[in-house]
Amino acid sequence: MAQGDDTTETGTEENLDRLNANLARMEELSKRMVAALGQKDLATDAGLTGPGQDFYMKAGSAYLNDMMTNPGKLIGHQVAYWGRALEHFTEAQKALAAGQLEIPEDEDVPDDPRFANPMWRTHPYFRLVRQQYELNADAINMAVKDLDGLDSKEKQRVEFFSRQIIDLFAPTNYLATNPDALQKAVETEGQSLVDGLENLVRDIEAHHGELLPTLSDPDAFTVGENIGATQGKVVFRNRMMELIQYAPLTEKVHKTPLVIFPPWINKFYILDLKPKNSLIRWVLEQGYTLFVVSWKNPDPSYADVGLEDYVEEGYVQAVETAKEITGEKQVNAVGYCIAGTTLSAALAWMQKRGDKSIKSATFFTTLTDFSDQGEFTVFLQDDFVDAIERQVTEKGILNSYFMSKTMSFLRARDLVYGPAVKSYMMGEAPPAFDLLYWNGDSTNLPGRMAVQYLRELCQKNALAEDGFKILGETVHLRDIKLPVMSIGTKTDHIAPWRQCFVGFEKFGSKDKTFIMSESGHIAGIVNPPSKKKYGHFTSGEMGQGPDAWEEAAEFHEGSWWPRWEAWLKKRSGAQVAARVPGESGHEILGDAPGTYVLEGSTS
């Protein structure tokens, strides 16, 4: 008996010590959080955090007008809402009053991974919370759907911000209404909450007072070692970019070199994550001399850099260097996302100048016609763009944080709230996921370039309509004449494939090929044949619009990479001895992946 008492006493002391240690840790973390929150840049333009007041006025006026002109519709919504809410409450009250902590499973449950825990269907309290959330979400969606008096863009914005509110108030986002988090807190004697607070403080510190969940283990990867590690040399550097020539992986290569222009919103190693899913390595294995641009991560001194600087000091210089090193008169080019948009402007400009240095061009998920701005419509109206213009006028750059936040909130459930719940309430460490690591390694945008892109290309749709003025020329999509291929991705929310197709059809080229890959903006492009994961669609229909193309399209199993390479091979000339970086006598400035890719975000 005495031994049992000693054991109990020892266990109590250990629990008390653990509790005191956790309390001390929480106090320390709370002080760090206060200090981190104090780092927040209070000068950040408020327009970057939400729509302008005119948006709320228009939405509120439309709802008030609808309520006054059609009160029966509003009353009908309210009656249905309160009837269902009362039914759910009565059901839960009866079960709890009878002491039932488990009731027959609710079969009418949406397929929503947030509510995977069985308690959402069988526990009276959590079932009521879930039912009421779904009821509230339905009520908001119905009110917005039936709202009259707004144009299509305003309606789209109301729908977007309504979804943001619905996602924010999901019961899974709060400790008292999240059974998974509560269960783990009990099982770990509160350690999960301490770990979660530590994760929260870490993220606030990392973003200088702002909050954005860390999606991937920041210590799991090192660029140049376990990602972005394909062998090559930096063969050119200027203020805009480093040009990397990769070491060949075959004895023979095609005569015409390939130059890839990745987007400068993120870093180029999305195309070289790991050997098994590296497009860069795969291209080398097919027998090509490959050059890839690594863009400079701009600081405030780049405030006056515009799209013309990217064209002249980036595209033109990269092409000229590749020609000089290989001794060829032409190269093939690839542009991804915004780099593809700018490549189209560069090609149109080169056509007007009689420059035939680029033999063919491929575009990955590239928008060139912005008449339909898709989900980005929300962020391309004057209130947001005006705020960006004010911000970059003051700071010189658009900090990478704002782009990361915008991209994340387009998929808030998956990229904001889901990771936040796991990290802050469950106390879990972020996973070692190369793609998410890259996603968090974003870059700043030069002030002038950001405004040019938003005002001229997105809002005015200059390339597709009246023409875009660049380097002394006014260029249009119809000015592009060389052979071109475009790769769209089926579920892309950044560059919807239909809109990619619409712009691509306006190119002046006679030789045009369009492919639609399954999946989205990244996974649809980084889709190696070895995975045998996503298929693709092809069609001969061009000139009749995306719907006609899709109706005639044929599905093919597997990656589009081999189909593209077969197209590229026909435009890449005969086989020659593989070219090793430096053997032409051109100066080597360092090893791949270079220095620019290692530069972090600069406030």
pLDDT, tens digit, for every residue of 359-376? 999 999 999 999 987 777
Which percentage of the chain shows pLDDT scores above 70? 88
**Confidence at 107, pLDDT banded by 50, 70, 90:** low
The region of weakest confidence among 150-159, 431-440, 472-481, 548-557 is 150-159
pLDDT, greater one: 52 or 412: 412
Question: Residue 544: CB partners within 8 Å, gap ≥ 6?
Answer: none
| Assigned CATH for 232-370+467-598 | 3.40.50.1820
In terms of Cα–Cα distance, which of 249, 240, 300 is closest to 581? 249
pLDDT of residue 462: 97
pLDDT of residue 209: 77
Tell me which residues are annotated as active site.
337
**Confidence at 420, pLDDT banded by 50, 70, 90:** very high
pLDDT of residue 557: 97
Q: Indicate whether 194 pLDDT > 60.
A: yes
SS (H, E, C) 449-491: HHHHHHHHHHHCCCCCCCCEEECCEEECHHHCCCCEEEEEECC
Q: For 341-350, give one letter per residue: b (16+ CB within 10 A) or e.
A: bbbbbbbbbb
Alpha carbons within 13 angstroms on the beta-carbon side of residue 467 total 11
Q: Indicate whether 152 pLDDT > 70.
A: yes
Alpha carbon of 599 to those of 231, 306, 442, 549: distances in Å?
20, 20, 10, 42
Which percentage of the chain shows pLDDT scores above 90? 62
Q: Nearest 5°: phi and psi at 541? A: -75, 115
Q: Indicate whether 384 pLDDT > 60.
A: yes
The average pLDDT across 44-56 equals 65
Residue type, 443: T
The average pLDDT across 478-496 equals 96
pLDDT of residue 71: 58
In terms of Cα–Cα distance, which of 228, 282, 229, 363 is closest to 529? 282
Number of H helices, E strands in the chain: 21, 17
Residue type, 193: L
| Residue 338 contacts residue 295 (beta carbons within 8 Å) | no
C-alpha to C-alpha distance for 22 and 4, rounded to whole angstroms: 27
C-alpha to C-alpha distance for 33 and 26, rounded to whole angstroms: 10
The average pLDDT across 266-285 equals 96
The average pLDDT across 42-70 equals 61
Q: Indicate whether 312 pLDDT > 90.
A: yes
Q: Indicate whether 176 pLDDT > 80.
A: yes
In terms of Cα–Cα distance, which of 139, 525, 109 is closest to 336? 525
The region of weakest confidence among 93-107, 382-396, 493-507 is 93-107
* Mean pLDDT computed over every residue of the chain: 88
Query: Which tokens belong to 175?
Result: 């400790």
pLDDT of residue 602: 39
- Whole-prediction pTM: 0.88
Q: Is 229 helix (H, G, I), strand (E, B) or coil?
A: coil
**Confidence at 206, pLDDT banded by 50, 70, 90:** confident
Q: Indicate whether 65 pLDDT > 70.
A: no
The average pLDDT across 379-389 equals 87
Block residue for tokens 């106090």: 27
pLDDT of residue 603: 38
Most confident of 107-111, 144-148, 184-188: 184-188
Per the document, the length of the chain is 603
**Confidence at 69, pLDDT banded by 50, 70, 90:** low
pLDDT of residue 445: 96
Count of C-beta atoms within a 10 Å radius of residue 169: 13
pLDDT of residue 419: 92
Alpha carbons within 13 angstroms on the beta-carbon side of residue 575 total 6
Domain range annotation of the chain? 13-185, 232-370+467-598
Q: Is 28 helix (H, G, I), strand (E, B) or coil?
A: helix
The region of weakest confidence among 10-19, 104-113, 299-308, 577-586 is 10-19
Cis peptide before 496 (omega within 30 of 0): no
The region of weakest confidence among 338-342, 378-382, 413-417 is 378-382
Query: Which tokens belong to 189?
Result: 């004697």
**Confidence at 1, pLDDT banded by 50, 70, 90:** very low
